[in-house]
Amino acid sequence: MPHITLELYPRELSAEAKHEIAEALADVLKKHLGSTDTAISVAIDMVPREEWKEKVYDPRIKAVMDTLVRKPGYEL
């Protein structure tokens, strides 16, 4: 039951664009994990720039930097 949460700075994304992003991410999971459509869920969370370090970078990136499969090219 894969679940993806995409966290990004706020931007204008139509419902259609969000759906297309979610479908593209789901396609990757189906291709590489053999997941089915009914098993996959995707959330898109807009995190304001001023909250990024506290809400995303420190707990979800920096805290697990040693185990990240793809590391960011920035530090905060």
- Please report whether residue 46 resides in a domain: yes
The answer to whether residue 32 is domain-embedded is: yes
Q: Does residue 48 carry a catalytic annotation? A: no
Helix runs in the chain, H state only: 15-33, 49-52
Give the domain range for residue 12: 3-67
pLDDT at 12 (0 to 100): 97
- Here the CATH number for the domain that contains residue 8 is 3.30.429.10
- pTM value is 0.89
pLDDT in the model for residue 22: 98
Does 61 map to a domain?
yes
Task: Name which of 46, 47, 63, 44 is nearest 55 in CA terms.
Answer: 47
The amino acid at 3: H
One of 2, 48, 59, 72 is an active-site residue; which one? 2
* Per-residue pLDDT of the chain in tens (76 residues, 90 and over written 9): 999 999 999 999 999 999 999 999 999 999 999 999 999 999 999 999 999 999 999 999 999 999 999 999 999 9
Could you tell me if residue 74 is inside a domain? no
Rounded CA separation 58/51 (Å): 10
